[in-house]
Amino acid sequence: MTVKFQAPDNLVAFYREIAKSQAWAQLSINKKFETKLLSQDKNKKHFERKSVLLDKIIIDTDEKVFGEVFKEILHSASKFTDNSDNLKDLLAWSKEVDMGAYLHAALQGDYQEIISKNGISSPESISYFGELAVRPYLRVMSNKAGGHHHHEWKESFCPICGRKAAFSVLENDCRTLVCIGCYTEWVYPYLKCSTCETLDHSNLGFLIPEGIEGEKVFICKECCSYIKMFDREVLQESDLQLADLNTLYLDLLAISKDYYREDSINPLIN
C-alpha cells in the first residue's frame, strides 16, 4: 500500500492563499489585457513552425497588477515561513527593480538577465515568485487565445507560453499535457516521452502506486525523466497548483527510482 505523503499544512495553506491573489489578479488583468492574435490560417502555419503563440502576439500589459500580486504573494509567504530575511530582501528588491522588465522576464520564463542586473542574495527566489505572480497573465492570454488551434500542436512544450508540461491527464483514452503556467492543455501521444520525445516503447513505462486508483507516474528509461499522469475524474482540486502539491507521494515514488522531473515549481521537489 502506497502511503500518501502529504505536503506540509503551512505550504498547502500558502498555495491556497496565493490562489486567491492570482484569481483577483486574473480578473483585473482580464479587463485591461489586450492581445492581437494571429488569424486561424496563420495560427496553423505558426504552429507548424513549432513556435509558441507568446512569441508572435502583441501584448499590451500593465505591470502595476504584476507588482501588486507579487507583493501580495510575498506577504502571504511571510505568514507561513520563518525565512523572513529573504522575504524582506525580495520586498526591498521589488521597490528598486523595473517591474515592467521583471514582468517581461516572467512572461518569457527567462530570468537570467534581470537576475544579473539586480543583485540579490537568493536569485532562485526571483524566478520562483515571478512564476507565481505571472500565472494570472499567462492564464488570461490562454483564455483570450482560445482552444481552436491546439489540435495543430505536436510538441512537448506549451503552445501558448512555451513552458514544459507539469503533468498529464487521461480522459476517454486520450492523453493531454497540462501547462502549470497558463493551464493550457494539448493532446499528446500516449506512449511518448514529453522530455526527450522518444517513441521507443521499450524505454517507456509506468510506476503505479499501490492501492491508489487513477494516478500513476509515466517514466522514460532513456532520459530518466518522469511526469505524473492522472485520470480526469480523480482530479479533486480545481487549482492545478494544489493538485500537484497534494500528490507529493508520486514524486517520491519516482525519485526513489532515480527519475527526475524536468519542470516543477513545487518547492518540495526543486
For the ranges 20-29, 111-120, 136-145, the lowest mean pLDDT is seen at 111-120
Structure confidence at residue 148 (pLDDT): 46
Q: Which amino acid is at 25?
A: A
Q: Which of 3, 8, 5 is nearest to 267 (CA)?
A: 8
Structure confidence at residue 172 (pLDDT): 86
Q: How many CB atoms lie under 10 A from the CB of residue 235? A: 17
Q: Which residue has the higher pLDDT, 144 or 212?
A: 212
Structure confidence at residue 54 (pLDDT): 66
Structure confidence at residue 1 (pLDDT): 47
Q: Which domain holds residue 171?
A: 150-255
For the chain, counts of helices (H) and of strands (E): 9, 8
Average pLDDT estimate for 152-163: 86
> How far apart (Å, rounded) are the C-alpha atoms in residues 204 and 34?
42
Is the domain of 120 the same as that of 198?
A: no
> Does residue 213 lie within any of the structural domains?
yes
Give the pLDDT confidence of 203-262 residue by residue, as tens digits: 999 999 988 889 999 999 999 999 999 998 877 666 777 888 888 899 999 999 999 997
Is the domain of 87 the same as that of 107?
A: yes
> How far apart (Å, rounded) are the C-alpha atoms in residues 28 and 26?
5
Structure confidence at residue 34 (pLDDT): 60
Predicted TM-score (pTM) of the model is: 0.82
Last residue of a domain, one of 125, 145, 165: 145
On the question of pLDDT at 165 being above 80, the answer is yes
Structure confidence at residue 65 (pLDDT): 87
Structure confidence at residue 124 (pLDDT): 83
Q: How many CB atoms lie under 10 A from the CB of residue 138? A: 27
Last residue of a domain, one of 145, 160, 185: 145
Q: Which residue has the cell 513505462?
A: 205
Q: Indicate the DSSP class of residue 179.
A: E
Structure confidence at residue 64 (pLDDT): 85
Spell out the SS3 assignment of 121-143.
Answer: CCHHHHHHHHHHHHHHHHHHHHH
Is the domain of 18 the same as that of 134?
A: yes
> Does residue 265 lie within any of the structural domains?
no
- Name residue 175's beta-bridge partners: 170
Last residue of a domain, one of 94, 129, 145: 145
Cell numbers describing residue 63: 505591470
Is the domain of 155 the same as that of 240?
A: yes
- What is the domain count for the chain? 2
> How far apart (Å, rounded) are the C-alpha atoms in residues 96 and 127?
17
Give the pLDDT confidence of 34-86 residue by residue, as tens digits: 655 545 555 555 555 555 666 555 555 678 888 999 999 998 888 877 767 78
Structure confidence at residue 90 (pLDDT): 87
Element (H, E) at 269: none
CATH of the domain at 164: 3.90.1670.10
Give the pLDDT confidence of 178-203 residue by residue, as tens digits: 988 888 889 999 999 999 999 999 99
